[in-house]
Each structure stands twice: as structure tokens, then as C-alpha cells.
Amino acid sequence: MDIVLASGSPRRRELLERAQLDFTILSVDIDETPLDNESPTAYIERMVATKADAAIHKLCDTSQADHDSLTSPFIILTSDTIGVLSDDKTVLVKPVDREHAYSMWQRMSDNVHEVWTAVQATQVQLLPIAKPSPPESTQCLQVINQQRITERTEVTFIPLTTQIMSDYWDSGEPADKAGGYGIQGLGAAWVSRINGSYTNVVGLPLAQTLALIKEMTEGSMDTVNPL
């Protein structure tokens, strides 16, 4: 079954490539601003669902022009990674500026936080939909199966000084990463230990994602009826 990775993240692309998985990439843009009083669980689940919806709408436009390329069912894979402080309430997102990054890092310094990644696999198929007026038929993607997982990994940081934080911010690495650090890059020097999936901290729990795809491909998951 064909797979569409609805993500512009080079890290997620590289992880799937390591698994020798065939897939295509579709970047989607959504508003990632947390809602007031939104819990980490609600936030991350909303993100992967919204990304899937955005991908479906984008692919629907493609399907109108090229029906032949989307005739078989395929999987849209969406993912979102956040950091969560030990209070299980505070979401660590991508820093908007230096001050925002510092405020997160100061709370993560010499402390344990968790990295959560939600992965959603949405199986879709091109199906005819009758328009009520005028009475004609068009084609659009319909959800025929959907499943989501969330993986959590504990990460322990070393004590961070102002100089350490300043040097790291100036490197440019933190800007596009949840919690403002990359464990696969310079940010690895901050991590004294992890408990759980390393690839989850990078941005995609690879073993769990491959298991999710396998289950959906084999058709063993419960089907979610499209709305």
C-alpha cells in the first residue's frame, strides 16, 4: 500500500528512509498554536488530526486533476512531537525566539522532561461523492481506516548555564525543534540519559510507526467510519 508522509521534517524522512520504506512526501502547513488550557494529550492529538485533514484537502485538489494516480487505497502518515515538563501539563513547543527558548531550557535544566510523539495513520481512498445540486458526481478522498499512537520518552538534561544556552541558540539548531533542541545534533551534549525510544526524541518512533503501518496494511485495525 502506498504511503504519503505529510511532513516537511527532514528527520522524519531520514528515519523512514533508514527503514527502506517507499513513500512520497507532502508538506502541509497548519497553525500549531496551543489553545488556552489545552492539555498535552489534546494538543498533540489535535495536531496529527489537523495535519491529516490538511493533507486530504490538498490531495483532493490533486485528485480532481489526476484521478488515475489515486485509484487505490493509500496511507497518509502524520506526526507531531512535543516536549512535556514533569508536571505533565506544560507543553514544550518550537521556540519562537531566544527568550522563549531560554524560558523552556531553564525549566528543563538539571531535570527530567518527556518527549511525546503522536503518529496517525489515515487510510484513504478515492470515492465518488454525489453533489446535491446540480445532481452530478465528483471524486474526493474518503477516510476508510484510521489509527493513532503516542510514544513517550524520558529525557534528563545536564545543568545548563547562560553561556551554554547562548552558544546553542547562536548555532541555529534549536529554531525548528520541539523543546528547542535536537538530540541528533549539538543538543546531544545536553542529554545525560534517556529512558525509551531514541528515534521518538528525534521526531518519529520508528519501530512503533512501522508496526502501525504493518497493522493497517494487513487490515487488522478497527475501521473509523468517515464523517
pLDDT value for 72: 82
pLDDT value for 68: 52
pLDDT value for 33: 87
pLDDT value for 119: 98
pLDDT value for 222: 44
Cell numbers that stand for 17 in this block: 528512509
- Catalytic site positions: 80
**Please, are residues 77 and 132 in contact by the beta-carbon 8 Å criterion?**
no
User: Could you give the CA distance from residue 182 to residue 167 in angstroms, rounded to a whole number?
Assistant: 14
pLDDT value for 223: 43
> Residue 167 burial by CB count (10 A; 0-12/13-18/19+): exposed, middle or buried?
exposed
Which residue positions in the chain have pLDDT lower than 70? 62-71, 128-139, 219-227
pTM of the predicted model, to two decimals?
0.84
pLDDT value for 137: 44
pLDDT value for 69: 55
Cell numbers that stand for 221 in this block: 485495525
The set of long-range contacts for 53-60, using a CB threshold of 8 Å and a minimum separation of 24, is 54/6, 54/28, 54/29, 54/30, 55/4, 55/6, 55/26, 55/28, 55/122, 56/122, 56/124, 56/141, 56/143, 58/26, 58/28, 59/4, 59/26, 59/124, 59/141, 60/140, 60/141
User: Could you give the CA distance from residue 162 to residue 151 in angstroms, rounded to a whole number?
Assistant: 31
pLDDT value for 103: 95
pLDDT value for 70: 59
